[in-house]
Amino acid sequence: MSNASAATLAAEQARAPAQIKYRSQAVAKPYFMAAIGLFIGQILFGLIIGLQYVKGDFLFPAISFSTARMVHTNLLIVWLLFGFMGAGYFLIPEECERELYSPKLAIITFWVFLVAGALTIVGYLGLPYNVLAHLTGNDLLPTMGRGYLEQPLITKVGIVLVALSFLFNLSMTLLSGRKTSISIVMLLGLWGLAIFFLFSFVNPNNLVLDKYFWWWVVHLWVEGVWELIMGAMLAFVLVKVTGVDREIIEKWLYLIIAMTLITGIIGTGHHYFWIGTPAYWQVWGSIFSALEPVPFFMMTMFAFNMVKRRRREHPNQAATLWALGTGVMSFLGAGVWGFLGTLSVVNYYTHGTQLTASHGHMAFYGAYAMVVLTMISYTMPLLRGREANSPQAQNVEKLAFWVMTLSIVGITLCLTAAGATQVWLQRMSSAPLSFMETQEHIMPLYWARLVCGLGFFSGLMLYLISFFVTGKRQD
Amino acid sequence: MRTDSLPMEDIPHDRHVPGDLAMWCFILAELAVFGVFFLVYGYHRWRDPALFSHGQQQLHLLLPTLNTLLLLAGSAAIVAAVRAFALNRQRSGRRWLMSTMLAGGGFLVLKAIELGGKFAAGITLSSGDFWMFYLSLTVFHFLHVVLGMVIVAAVWWQARDGRYAGATIDGVETAAAYWHMVDLVWIVLFALIYVAR
Amino acid sequence: MSASFTKSTARNIFYGGSVFFFLLFLGLTLDTTMALPSHNAKAKLTDAAVRGKKIWETRNCGGCHTLLGEGAYFGPELGNVYVRRGPDFIKGWMKAMPTNVPGRRQMPQFHLNDGELDDVVAFLKYTSEINTNNWPPNIQG
């Protein structure tokens, strides 16, 4: 650290609560708290639909499966966005070595986003979906009713405005501050997130084009720009907890995200096999997506290498555990499980089965839930005025890590077996069973998945409890 | 591809991997993509040899043969450029880089003539398996030649201030490595699509 | 091994590679949009089918069903249901919902009138005509 920045640090510490370098980083705290709250909501609705898989009429007609699933997936997206935004508000000032351009705007944005998100969920649960669509202007510009993009038009516009306010705030901070590779990659990823979200307003009548550009949001988010955000967040935490030279971490960051986009952009083609698009996508999509595990593998090696080469023993061991976990689980979920169904010859049989769901659960948890939890784990103690939580609190957090992670592995394995059963009985059999007959055969696996889901929820509760464990603080 | 016109002994030999490791990572990824593409091509050709040989009979060898020579010439020129910069012969080095770009430009012109003929005949990516592979591979490679020329041009531009000299010629070596990759891929492509019938 | 590995080269490869492959993706997208009319020549996107698509969206049908394999995995694939079940079955089925059989998965009653039901059928007829490169493997979806 340069003398100048050390001096800034000393000056800041005199004013700000201990440990955060810039007072305005504190705006990240409500974002992270909201993220955790919405995460709990997501899992509760996950349990509801998990139960509906085995008890089909559970809560019907009060909360139908389609509504509960929509809440489950939308809460996932929203809590991850809260996590990314909190991470941005914490990371950018620290990297840029200056206060946030406007902390007040960040707080206003927070409340706008939270209220808009809450109203949307209330709308989902309180109104029939077509009434909600009618009331919110879907007739003017139909955008609703497509996976992950079910939000009413006004919510979508709200998301764009919130994103613009957030990006304006961070970009202004970056422009007049120190420009590090980590902060630039983070902002590139966040800008990409906002730009590709604009395709959620594109909904051609032609179903093929509708599906084609739907993936420009969904795929180019999770297998494109979100990986930039993830890489930047992981690199930031690794710089902090390992003390490895920033130059080394940043060059690996660039190389990994280069591989991500080189494979991932054309890799979108693995969604264009059977939706009415030309057959050549089977070749292009298979080849590029077959290489998509490479950057995830590099990410894993990167995390472990940096921790191995660490030059300090950071007292926050829980954060290091989350960082390593992100590396491993994103590789397994996005890399390995993604690869399982990605080749067109395999995908012909697995497309639209529980195998897709198994990959989705492990990849979303392993890559994005875990990287946000890594960031929260590293920053929350600082935001609460200490470098790390007490060993007791960290032990609870680590236990929560293992319970949640092993539960998601359980869910993934159950759904993989369920998907394999579907492929076998419904797709490959010489006397194929109907969809619902096949489902009857899978019931035991759905029960097992529900048990794993309850395990995940208990892990999440442990995680929540870890914030309230005081124990003896170090030094 | 070594040219013996320049003295070997003046070149530093202590370094094992020329150019930048990041570029080698990129090259490996590119080779993996092309490699898998070629394997898939081979598989489809094995499945339907009649369709592929019928398609191959409609390809002419003159332009691609000239193109092979052009790319090889470009490779030789960039090797000469590396040598020249290592010996701090700046003007000669930049001239060799320009020669590589000229060879690449020639390749692009001839390739554009060939592809233009196919497009004019109404051939698209949806004109059956053979033409899908033919267009995918040749256009994809065409774009790599463009990218290679951009990289060489960037090095040529940066070499104005004499920054590449003696042992600090990583930039030139990095560009050369990429150019050789593009060249290597073309030779396999040429053999596989045009020659092996 | 004494290879150099610089951040600036890694950065250039990131920017250059991303732009290169995004432009390639745009090119393939252009080709796809131009190839779609002939690829899907059989799929008739009638006015009724367009209205049916809006009903599909505003009833969140994709919250339970897959359509060409995309959506949720709670109910059967509907991209080919027009072929599997036929128009009359589809309309009768939707009118009869929910079954209220204890423990069974339930589909809501959407109170569609006859014209709207015809639109849904027209939409599902259109989806069954889309050239999906022979997916699904069999009629069961």
The domains of chain B are located at 21-195
Residue A10 has pLDDT above 90, yes or no: no
Nearest residue in chain C measured CA to CA from B150: C16
Measured between CA atoms, the residue of chain A closest to residue C27 is: A266
Q: What is the mean pLDDT of chain B?
A: 92
Residue with the two structure tokens 């591979």? B137
Of residues A355, A348, A366, the one with CA closest to residue A270: A348
**Which residues, in sequence order, are CB contacts of B58 under 8 Å at separation 6+?**
none
Stated length of chain A: 475
CATH of the domain at C98: 1.10.760.10
Radius of gyration in angstroms for the set of CA atoms belonging to chain A, rounded to a whole number? 22
Residues in chain C: 141
Cα distances from B100 to residues A383, A405, B167, in angstroms, run: 56, 53, 22
pLDDT at A12: 47
A460 contacts A404 by C-beta, under 8 angstroms:
yes
Q: With CA atoms as reference, report the closest residue to A166 among A216, A239, A109, A247.
A: A109
The answer to whether the beta carbons of residues A380 and A319 sit under 8 Å apart is: no
pLDDT tens digit sequence for A103-118: 999 999 999 999 999 9
**Cβ–Cβ < 8 Å for A359, A341:** yes
Q: How many CA atoms lie within 13 A of A98 on its CB side?
A: 17
> Position of tokens 């690996």?
A252
Report the residue of chain A nearest B129, measured CA to CA.
A280
pLDDT of residue C50: 98
Q: Is the preceding peptide bond at A61 cis, omega within 30 degrees of 0?
A: yes
Quick one: C92 and C111 in the same domain? yes
- Subunits next to B (3 or more Cβ pairs <8 Å) are A, C
Q: What is the mean pLDDT of residues C53-60?
A: 98
Q: What is the pLDDT of residue B19?
A: 87
Q: Which of C14, C50, C136 is opposite residue A254, by nearest beta carbon?
A: C14
Q: What is the pLDDT of residues A45-90, one digit of tens each?
A: 999 999 999 999 999 999 999 999 999 999 999 999 999 999 999 9
What pLDDT was estimated at residue A470?
87
Q: How far apart are CA A271 and CA A277, in angstroms?
A: 10
d(CA A300, CA C6): 21
Cα distances (Å, whole numbers) of residue A41 to A38, A78, A218, A365, B12: 5, 11, 22, 15, 64
Sign of CA dihedral C112, C117, C119, C125: positive
Provide the chain B residues 15-54 that lie in CB contact (below 8 A) with chain C: 15-17, 19-26
Element (H, E) at C70: strand C70-71
CA dist C102 and A55 (Å) reads: 9
Task: Yes or no: say if A419 and A358 are a contact pair by the CB < 8 Å rule.
Answer: yes
Residue C51 shares a structural domain with residue C88:
yes
Q: Are strands C66-67 and C70-71 parallel, antiparallel or unpaired?
A: antiparallel
Tally of domains in chain C = 2
Domain A255-468 class in CATH: mainly alpha
Cα Rg, chain C, nearest whole Å: 22
C→B interface, C-beta within 8 Å? 1-6, 9-10, 13, 16-17, 20, 24, 31, 35, 38-39
- Two tokens, residue B28: 């490996």
Residue B126 CA to its chain's centroid (Å): 26
| pLDDT at residue B16, as a whole number | 62
A340-347 contact pairs (CB < 8 A, 24+): A340/A416, A342/A270, A342/A285, A342/A286, A342/A289, A342/A290, A342/A292, A343/A286, A343/A290, A344/A270, A344/A273, A344/A282, A344/A283, A344/A285, A344/A286, A345/A286, A347/A270, A347/A273, A347/A274
C51 and C106 assigned to the same domain: yes
Q: Are residues C18 and C34 in the same domain?
A: yes
Q: Is B121 on the interface with C (CB under 8 A)?
A: no
CA distances from A410 to A324, A342, A358, A451 (A): 19, 22, 10, 9
C33 and C76 assigned to the same domain: no
Which helix (H) or strand (E) is C12 found in, with range? helix C7-39
How many Å apart are CA A415 and CA A186, to the nearest integer?
33
Asked if the Cβ–Cβ distance from C5 to B170 is below 8 Å, we say no
> Are A389 and A452 within 8 A, CB to CB?
no
Global pTM? 0.94
Residue B143 to residue B152: CA distance in whole angstroms: 14
On whether both C34 and C64 belong to a single domain, the answer is no
Give the phi and the psi of residue C66 in degrees, each rounded to 5.
-95, 150
Q: Are A208 and C45 contacting, i.e. CB atoms less than 8 angstroms apart?
A: no
Cβ–Cβ pairs < 8 A, chains A and B: 38
When the pLDDT of each residue in chain A is averaged and rounded to a whole number, the result is 95
- Where do we find the tokens 């909501």? A41
Residue C65 scores a pLDDT above 70: yes
A60 touches chain C (CB under 8 A): yes
The residue whose two tokens read 């796809």 is C32
- Quote the pLDDT of residue B2: 41
User: Which tokens sit at A81?
Assistant: 């966005």
User: What is the rounded average pLDDT of the residues C7-12?
Assistant: 95
CA-based torsion, B129, B130, B133, B134: positive or negative: negative
Tens digit of each residue's pLDDT (9 = 90 or more) over B142-154: 999 999 999 999 9
Let me know whether C21 and C51 are in one domain: no
User: What residues make up the domain containing C76?
Assistant: 47-129
10 Å Cβ neighbour count for A465? 14
pLDDT of residue B6: 45
Each residue's pLDDT expressed in tens, for chain B with a length of 197 residues = 344 444 444 455 555 678 899 999 999 999 999 999 999 999 999 999 999 999 999 999 999 999 999 999 999 999 999 999 999 999 999 999 999 999 999 999 999 999 999 999 999 999 999 999 999 999 999 999 999 999 999 999 999 998 999 888 999 999 999 999 999 999 999 999 999 88
Q: Is C69 on the interface with A (CB under 8 A)?
A: yes
What are the tokens at B93?
């080095």
Q: Is C62 found in the same domain as C30? A: no
Give C108's contacts in chain A (Cβ within 8 Å): 61, 64, 66
CA distance B164 to B152: 13
3-state secondary structure of A445: helix
Q: What is the pLDDT of residue B167?
A: 86
Rounded distance, CA A208 to CA B58, Å? 34
Which chain C residue lies closest to A432 (C-alpha atoms)?
A: C140
Q: Give the model's pLDDT for residue A19.
A: 82
Q: Are residues C122 and C77 in the same domain?
A: yes
C-alpha closest to that of C55 among A213, B7, A139, B90: A139
Protein fold of B21-195: Four Helix Bundle (Hemerythrin (Met), subunit A) (1.20.120)
Query: Is the pLDDT assigned to residue C74 strictly greater than 70?
Result: yes
Residues C9 and C67 grouped into a single domain: no
Percent of chain A with pLDDT over 70: 95
Residue A34 predicted with pLDDT over 50 = yes
State whether residue B5 sits within 8 Å of chain C by CB. Answer: no
